[in-house]
Structures are given as C-alpha cells and as structure tokens.
Chains A and B, each alone.
Chain A
Amino acid sequence: MQVSEKIKHLKESIGKVIIGKEETVELLMVALLSKGHVLLEDVPGTGKTMLSKSLAKSINGAFRRVQFTPDVLPSDITGIQFLNPKTKEFELKPGPVMTNILLADEINRATPRTQASLLEVMEERQVTIDGETLKLPTPFLVMATQNPIESQGTFPLPEAQMDRFLMRINVGYPSASEEKEIMRRYRKAEPIDELTPIFSLEEMMEMQAIIKDVNITEDVEDYMLEIIHKTRDSENVEVGVSPRGTLAFMRAVQSYALINGRTYVTPTDVQKIAPHVLSHRIVLSLEGELRKSSKQVVEEIIALVEVPVETGAVR
C-alpha cells in the first residue's frame, strides 16, 4: 500500500476519535516521519491529550504518559540507579522515556530543570542515567502539550527546548457542525476504545527511511533558505531560525510531500509547513511581540519571498 493511502487510512481512523482535525493529524504524521517531536498547544479541552493517545494507539507502539507537575524531578523522567537490597547491587531503572511515544502532558507545569531532562532524550534519542547511556527505542516521538493562556504556576519552555520540537501545532476549536458530530459520537461510546493499529513499527521505520529520497530542486532549496534568512533579518525578530531549524524544515517538507503522494517537494509544501516548523523557533523582539505573533511574522515573511516557478512559466 502507498504511503499516502496508509496516511489517509490513518486519518480516517483517528478521525473517528478526533473529529475535523485532518490537518493536525497530517502534521503529526509529518513529525513522526521526520523523526521530530511535536508541541501541541491550545486552550484546555480542545483534544490535545486525546489526539496524542489516538496516534499512539494507531501506530502500535509502546506508549507512556507523564503528567508534568512542579514536583516532578528529572529522574522521574529519565530513570534512576537504585540499590537492590537483595542483590546489594545498583540496578538501573529506566524512566518513562523508554518508549515509542511519550506524551509529556502539560510540559510547562514542570520546573525548568525537569524540562531540561528531555533535552538529550529529544535530540540524541538516548538517555544518560548516572553515567550510563542507553539508546531509546525507535521510532521515538515526544508529544508535549501545553496551555498557552495559563501563566499561573507554569514555567515557559526555554528557547533551547523549543528548538528541539519539530513543530508547534495549534489544535484549534472545531466548527459548529464538527462539534455537533462530536456530541453525537460521544453520546453513547468512547471511540478511542475502538481504534486499531494502522502501522507497525517496522513500517514506520521504513517510511522514515524513504523520505530521505524525496527530491528537493535547487530552486526550492533557495526558496526555503530565503525564508530562513528572512527570519534572521526581520525587524520584528531578535533571534532567527537556527541551522538545526533549517534541517528540520527540510525534513518536514520532504515528509509532507511524501504524505501527499509525491517524490518531490513543491513551493506549496514549503508554504504549508513553514509556519508550523519555524514560528516557535524564532524569538521576537519586545516591540515585535507586542505587534504580532510569531506565526504572523512567519506568514508575512512567506508572503514577501518570491515563489519559484517552473522554467518557462510566466512569473
């Protein structure tokens, strides 16, 4: 079965649980194929946690959930070495990071030290516990959720942590008709109980390997780079997108193209993916932040950069 068909199947499956969020599911798949991590952000009750659970169930991987609170310690995430009184030897007890999908629920409620315990895990896909380094299972995806409105008792994620997320996705409210459908579907049943796996882990890893073959022409490369460089020059931006961001951007557009059944990237893919991959990686200046959101700034940059067209086409 083609990748795009499988993704369509997955969207339909998750669509039974999360109604009207096809685009969000598509972006989650982009992150999974790109070996990236996702930050789901929106007001409470928009289905962030349910979405994460549904995706985990659909890819037949191990799933762990950590509810972040101010008293969660770094060792609660990574794991510990403890003295076994029977054997009188130190034993390693890995934390919940030893999984395929880790749901870091309300990540901004943990202290910065606990948040920082995910840095190595997210970037290098390994965990070091008391000097001993363990490789994490593959595929590995961190899906973190946070509520951007609430500031009481929360610790904003530092820039270094934000840069490790491939995407920040705003889940958003459903439309009136979608909400009516939600009311109907949840009246008698819990649709998540009926979800069955669509992908095996092996299939997922195969697809992760395939995306590297998706072609990006030089024109599209230049287009992407111009967007990236504009984020560094914009008057509203204090810190632009990092080279790590550039690589993440490239991988994400490749995945998006593959999901849509293509083996090449178009400028439309770039335009579609850019706000999700770049907006959380830029730091706005004080005045810039007072005027606009980072997503608006990225969208403005996209509108400013000239779009490459095929040779011979009229510009």
Chain B
Amino acid sequence: MQWRKETDLPSSFGFFIGTSILLLFASIYIEALFFIGIVALAVGLSSVYYVRYITNQIALQNVKRAVRMFPEDEETILLTFRNNGKLPIFSSTFSFFTDNQVSVKGVKELANGRFKDNYCFPLTIMPNETRQYQLKIKANKRGPARISEIKLEVKDLLGMVRGVMYFDSVYKKDFIVYPTADPVKGIERLIQIQQGERPYAFSYFQDPTLTVGTRDYIIGDSFKQIHWKASARKPELQTKILEKTTSLSWTLILNITTTKGDSLSIVDPNLEQNISYMAFMCQYATQKNIPFSIYVNIRARGKVPVFHLDVGQGRPHLMKALELLARIRHDSLITPMAHMLSLVDRKLDNQAVIIAVGDIDGTKEQSYYSKWQNARKPFYHIDTQGNTVPFRGQLGRRVI
C-alpha cells in the first residue's frame, strides 16, 4: 500500500445527509419533497463513494534518483501520477515538505519553517491517465534534502467530503547540495612526492606487483624478476618491467567542534567555512591526481566508527568526498577528537601528508600531534583565514 488513507466527513456533510433524510420523512406529507430528498441523499452518498474510490486509484511513481547540485543550481524533477480509476480527479491538492537546503520554484509555498518548507499545487488527472508535473528545485545551501510528508487531499465536486492520503513510504528522490569551495592559500606546499605505489614515470621506486611489460634479460637482473610465462614464448629469458611508482597522498582531518579550555566541545562556528576549505582541497587533489582520505569527528556505524572516506582518487572519489561533506550536520553525534585521532594514527599511511582543518588546540589531542611531529610526518593546519600553516607544535618547531 502506497498511501495511508483517511476520509473526513465534516459536520456540514452530516447536516446535508440529515436534511435529505428529513426531507424524505417530510415527503409523507408533501410529495414534492420526496424527489428532492432522494436526489440530495444520492448526491451525498455518491460524494462519499467518489472520494473513497478515487483514493484507491491514485499512484505516485517512486523511482530512486539522486540529484546532485551546487548552491544556486536549478534542476527540474518530474512527479509522475497515475489515475488507474474510471473517474476523473478534480479539485485535489498535492502538498509536501522539503528540507530548506532546497526550495521549489513555481508552486505555492504554504509555510516556511526553520528546517522545512511546505509547498502545494492543485492536481487534476483524467481517468486512466498518467500525468507528469515538473518541479523546479533550487539549491540554497549545503546539505542533503528530501521531499517528505507527502499528502494528497481529494475532495468531491461539491467539496463536502474530503479524503486525505498520506504517502506511506520514503519518496526516493535525494537532493545533495555540495559545499562551495573556498581557496586555501599555499596549497601547493602540500604536494610532497615520496616512495610509494602511485605510478610516476621518473620514480626510483618500482611496484613489484605491477608488471607493465617485458624486456630481454640482462645479466645482473634479479632471478625474481624473470617473467617465466613470457620467456617460455620467446627464444630468450624475459625480465619483467615493473611500474615505477611513488607515494603522494593526503589525509584530511576535519574537526567540527571547538574546545574552550577543558570544557565541553561545541560545534565550531566556522564549520561552514572549514567545510568549504575541505571541498577546495578535495577538488584540488582530484585535479592533481592526488589520492586522499577524509576523517570527520562525527560518529558513524561500521568498521570505522567516524565519518570517513577511504583513500582514493579521481572524479568518482571526489563525488563521494563532496557528498560526505554535504552530509555533515550541525546536530550530528560527535566523536571526541582524541578518539578519532587514535583511529587515524592506526590507519595512517606512513607517507601521507596530514592536513587538519578546524580547531587543533584541544589538550587531549596534542599527544597525537606531537607523535606525528616527532615521527617527522608532514603535518599542516588550515587556519581560519584559509592559510596553509605547517604544524609547529608546543615547542614552536617546524615539522619540515
């Protein structure tokens, strides 16, 4: 069942039916009233029948689709209704709520709430007809949004009987408004090439698991490097040519909270700005083919108990990263920063450049920062002005 239905019989309808029954009784004395009474009763009952019939015949197509937008983008979606019945649907009203990360253009706005806005439009569908209504969606601000609390109000022609249908499942249109990207100054300093697995033509290092071709054997080549399968086909031994590789990856850490001394953490007032810096770095990393991973101190379910994106690169990875940033909520359950850093420390790639965005002044976290500093890991902080600052630690010593 797609809809939960309620039929509302207002007191005016009771009065109408009551009057028609009274007219039928009165017709014992005045015959002319009989016809009026019968017609009135028939109209009243058929109104109830019409509304109950119609509410069983309407279907709303619910196809899964994610609409991805940047703030100020506009996108059109189609709402497809089907009237499976033999009676037309007139004077009905379709209403719904949207999270205010998006707004709907060209339809009547019933209410404008703090988190959600209510919209409605009239609906008319002929018998056995499929009708599509276009909704122009405008992205307002970062975040995910959905169409929810879908309600269809059906009335009979006289407006006496009202059927209300509540959409009983989740409407599968997801709107994801990506964060805007604000430039980070000095980001080029974060590109530091080291030994690793990333293909790089001029590297000294090779990945022994990645054979890219063969060449004739030269005395001195390692026995392990002989490509036996290729050698069997040729008159002489063949040596594997391995992919030359390097390492360049970023570990992006976002702290959504700020700590005032030892007191409780609160959500950082600069969170939106920090997310914009994160978005910029993700886009920059994608343009420069730098793999990156993200950690955000928000509690999550799964193997990694924080908001987290494993290391990856390319455009699909950027899409996931921006979607993760879009889904950060101000009222999320927070994981203490020190807990998250312990997790990052365990998973950290030895060669990765660590970039922290947000508050790094919490006292409990300093032990991790010092550990990375002592291990000479490249560790940078993006300050509130968007500057790339090498972490100096408590002694004021530069990491690199």
Which residues from chain A sit less than 8 Å from chain B, CB to CB? 70-71, 73-75, 80, 82-83, 93, 111, 113, 151, 156, 286-287, 289-292
| Measured CA separation A135–B213 after assembly (Å) | 25
| A289 B319 Cβ-Cβ under 8 A | yes
- The residue from A75, A82, A151, A286 contacting B287, defined by CB atoms under 8 A apart: A286
| Measured CA separation A93–B235 after assembly (Å) | 14
| Measured CA separation A291–B229 after assembly (Å) | 46
| Measured CA separation A71–B178 after assembly (Å) | 39
With a CB–CB cut-off of 8 A, which chain A residues contact B108?
A: none
Is residue B60 contacting chain A, with contact meaning CB distance below 8 A?
no
Question: For chain B, what secondary structure do more than half of its interface residues adopt (helix, strand, loop), or is it mixed?
Answer: mixed
| A70 B230 Cβ-Cβ under 8 A | no
Is residue B40 contacting chain A, with contact meaning CB distance below 8 A?
no
With a CB–CB cut-off of 8 A, which chain A residues contact B234?
A: 80, 82-83
With a CB–CB cut-off of 8 A, which chain A residues contact B287?
A: 286
Take A75-B230, A82-B233, A83-B235 as given contacts and tell me if A289 and B210 are in contact as well, using a CB distance cutoff of 8 Å. no
Take A73-B230, A113-B212, A286-B287 as given contacts and tell me if A156 and B318 are in contact as well, using a CB distance cutoff of 8 Å. no
- The residue from A74, A111, A289 contacting B315, defined by CB atoms under 8 A apart: A289
| A156 B322 Cβ-Cβ under 8 A | no
Residue of A74, A113, A156, A291 most packed against chain B (CB within 10 A): A291
- The residue from B70, B213, B317 contacting A287, defined by CB atoms under 8 A apart: B70
With a CB–CB cut-off of 8 A, which chain B residues contact A71?
A: 211
- The residue from B210, B314, B319 contacting A70, defined by CB atoms under 8 A apart: B210
Contact with A along B69-108 (1 / 0, CB 8 A): 1100100000000000000000000000000000000000
- The residue from B210, B213, B243 contacting A73, defined by CB atoms under 8 A apart: B213
Take A80-B233, A151-B316, A156-B314 as given contacts and tell me if A290 and B178 are in contact as well, using a CB distance cutoff of 8 Å. yes
**CB nearest to A76 among chain B residues:** B229
Besides A75-B233, A80-B233, A290-B315, 14 more A-B contacts (Cβ < 8 Å) are A70-B209, A73-B229, A75-B230, A82-B233, A83-B235, A111-B243, A113-B212, A151-B314, A286-B283, A290-B68, A290-B319, A291-B68, A291-B70, A292-B68
Is residue B57 contacting chain A, with contact meaning CB distance below 8 A?
no
Distance between A18 CB and nearest chain B CB, rounded to angstroms: 23
| B210 A111 Cβ-Cβ under 8 A | yes
Question: For chain A, what secondary structure do more than half of its interface residues adopt (helix, strand, loop), or is it mixed?
Answer: mixed
With a CB–CB cut-off of 8 A, which chain B residues contact A80?
A: 233-234
Is residue B312 contacting chain A, with contact meaning CB distance below 8 A?
yes
| Measured CA separation A82–B238 after assembly (Å) | 13
| A111 B314 Cβ-Cβ under 8 A | no
With a CB–CB cut-off of 8 A, which chain A residues contact B233?
A: 75, 80, 82, 93
Residue of B210, B287, B317 most packed against chain A (CB within 10 A): B210
With a CB–CB cut-off of 8 A, which chain A residues contact B283?
A: 286
Distance between A167 CB and nearest chain B CB, rounded to angstroms: 21
**CB nearest to A80 among chain B residues:** B233
Within 8 A of A (CB), among B246-280: none
With a CB–CB cut-off of 8 A, which chain A residues contact B194?
A: none
Contact with A along B277-294 (1 / 0, CB 8 A): 000000100110000000
With a CB–CB cut-off of 8 A, which chain A residues contact B286?
A: 286
| Measured CA separation A74–B227 after assembly (Å) | 14
With a CB–CB cut-off of 8 A, which chain B residues contact A287?
A: 70
Q: What would 13 A/B residue contacts be, using CB atoms closer than 8 Å? A: A70-B210, A73-B211, A75-B233, A111-B210, A111-B211, A111-B212, A151-B316, A286-B286, A286-B287, A290-B68, A290-B178, A290-B319, A290-B322
